[in-house]
Amino acid sequence: MEEFRRSYSRLCKDSGAEPQEAVLKQLHDLREGHRKNKLDLATQSLSVDTCGALGKLLQNDILFSMVLLSDCMMSEEGSKLLIQGLCSNTVVKYLDLKGNNLRAMGAEALGKLLRQNKSIQSLILEWNNLGMWEESFSLFCEGLRANTTLQQLDLRNNQINHKGAEELAMALKNNSTLQDIDLRWNNIGLLGGRAIVNCLSNNKTLRKLELAGNNIPGDVLKAVEQAMDHNLDRQVSLQENQNRTYVLSKEVQNLKEEKSKQFLNLMDTIDKQREEISRNCRTSAVRVSQLQEALNERHSIINSLKAKLQMSEAALALSEQKVQDLSELLTTAQKEQINLSQRQSKELQLEQQEAADRESKLLKEVASSNERNMLLRSQVDELERKSKTQQERLFLTKQELTNITSELKLRLTQAEERLEMEKRRFKQSLEDSENLRLKEVEHLTRRMEESERSLQERIQKLETVRISLEEEVNRVKKAILAERSQAEEEMIKAKSQVRLEMQQRVTHLEEKIRLISQARDEAQEYCLQQKQAVTESQTKNNQMGLQMEAVRRQLEELQKEVRDKEQEKVAEVNKVRVELQEQIGHLQAERTAQEGLKEKIAALERQIKVMSSSHREALLDKESENASIREKLRLKSAEINRLREEEAQRASFLQNAILAYVQGSPLGTPKPDKSSLEPKMKSTE
């Protein structure tokens, strides 16, 4: 960071300009702060030399991944130099150029940046004037079309018209990386909105498109929302499929490795058994040769026969050892089966715990939705209170109007009585003045009637507004109740489905355990049969000691029995393989069922997210409606105050006119005393 600061000051001095102290101070603060990968020069007025130096430094910079240059009051040349420096940068991912009044040159430089830069993922261009020059904005759109890394683009308040929207739509047709674009508060209009809707059929990566404040009809906005929802669903499904394929490939690799290991172990056992069989065959051949020699030399080989009997007993011991080995193999197989059952039970417990956690999460979300509903109810109650206060204010205004009218009528009657007295006294001298007075009184009465009519009309309008507000509040209450009931019904359905699926899994696993126990019983029966065969072989060996002549026949029978045992071993190995394959198939079926459950849970989570987003949007809409209602009430209160002031001015004008008329009478008329006029003035006030 210190090297960056030094190089900045050096470049400024080389160009013949002084480095800005604000920039140096900001770089010093960044060096001392924690966020060293963020260049924040927002709200700092940057000169052309400073922009050129920063552009040169950012060409090969590897420190900053975020560059914030919002509200920097850059000139066209300064912004161009800085953006040209960023064209060859490979580290910056976030660029903020908000509120810099970028125009034609800025738009062209940004188009070049989008074509050449391969690292920027988020670009903020709010509060600029990129859309005022169509040719430069078309170059910007061409750069956006060629870009392959940008994911977020903010173009709010850039004076983009329908032609600019068409160029932007052409760029979005060929762009395959942009996910979020904000076009609010521009001048896109109907034609631009249709062009954007037409381009969305070719763009499958755009997730969010904001078009509020562009004078676009509601049907076009709905079409845009539908396209965005379709793209979101598609991308979510693609991600899920990719995750599933990755998990399945891993599982398949693991299964292949396990199968290969099992196959190698089986081959090793088979080789060992073959070696043992070959050894037994060799020993049996030696024994046969010895027996043949003993038969030829009966007298001389009695002792050798005893030795051969001892050898046969040793062979029987070896066979017993083999039987014991087989029994040990069976016990190990049983232990493996027990371990598998325990693992399955543990997996079931884990799945039950996960289901319970998910249910608790769903309940928490339902509680949060209920709390939001309570907040909405409180807001509705506040609106009702405000409407009541408005009604009370209206009633007070009506009373004040009635009081003012009654006071004016009293004043008129008093003035008429005085005028009649003066007519009687001065009939001949005040005929002309009486005519003038009558005309003025008629004019004033007309004005009063008109003011009364206007006030009554305004009161009627206020009452209609109040009625409409009450209707809107009732509608909002009904909608909230309906949404809450729907959410509760969906939660109940989801819980019932999860319970049924868990019961089905438990029954399926119980059936598996029953089948495994049956296989164990069959293996035990087979062991008993082998023990019986061993006893029979012992009896046969005793008979061999009594009858030396039948030794050859017994040896041949033993060889046949060995062959049968080999076949039985092969059959047992095949059975074990078949059972393992069946268990693998059952495990795969269970995994598919678990994946189905996961998909259903994900769908429920999506529905809950959609419901929460709809609730949030409804809350925002209601808050905006409340704000508009408050503004209306404020305007109406201002109008009422203005009407009061006008009425007070008119009353003062009437009082002044009457006083002027009375004081302007000819000589000889009695002047009213100040003491008599002061209480009347106080009463009018």
C-alpha distance from residue 428 to each of 124, 172, 258, 425 (Å): 87, 93, 132, 9
Calpha distance 563→281 (Å, rounded): 11
Give the pLDDT of residue 506. Answer: 72
Spatial separation of the C-alpha atoms in residues 372 and 612, rounded to whole Å? 10
Backbone angles phi, psi at 71, to 5 degrees: 55, 45
Per DSSP, the three-state class of 103 is coil
Across the range 7-33, mean pLDDT stands at 81
DSSP string, 452-484: HHHHHHHHHHHHHHHHHHHHHHHHHHHHHHHHH
What's the pLDDT band for 35 if we cut at 50, 70, 90?
Answer: low
Compute the average pLDDT of residues 166-181: 93
Please check the confidence at residue 424 and state whether its pLDDT lies above 60: yes
Q: Enter the tokens of residue 197.
A: 């809707």
Percent of the chain topping pLDDT 90: 22
Q: Each residue of 277-303: pLDDT tens digit?
A: 888 878 878 887 787 777 777 777 777
Q: Check whether 130 has a pLDDT greater than 50.
A: yes
Has residue 164 got a pLDDT over 90?
Answer: yes
Domains, the chain, in order of start with CATH, read 2-236 (3.80.10.10), 268-391+487-632 (no CATH), 394-471+638-663 (no CATH)
**CA 288 vs CA 319, 558, 562, 566: distances in Å:** 18, 12, 16, 21
**Does the pLDDT at position 110 exceed 90?**
yes
Q: Single out the residue of 67, 99, 103 nearest to residue 86, CA to CA.
A: 67
Reported as a single tens digit per residue, the pLDDT across 572-603 is: 778 877 877 887 887 788 788 778 877 887 88
Query: What stretch of H or E contains 78?
Result: helix 76-86
| Predicted confidence (pLDDT) per residue in 635-676, tens digit | 888 888 888 888 888 888 888 888 888 877 544 444 444 344
- 310: which strand partners? none
Residue 200: name the closest of 251, 234, 150 by CA.
234
Q: Has residue 682 got a pLDDT over 50?
A: no
For residues 256-275, average pLDDT: 85
More reliable by pLDDT, 150 or 272: 150
> Which of 184-198, 350-364, 562-576, 667-681 has the weakest average pLDDT?
667-681
Sorted by sequence, the CB contacts under 8 Å of residue 619 that are 6+ apart come out as 372, 375, 376
Mean pLDDT of the chain: 81
Q: What's residue 680's pLDDT?
A: 42
Compute the average pLDDT of residues 524-551: 71
The pTM of this model reads 0.42
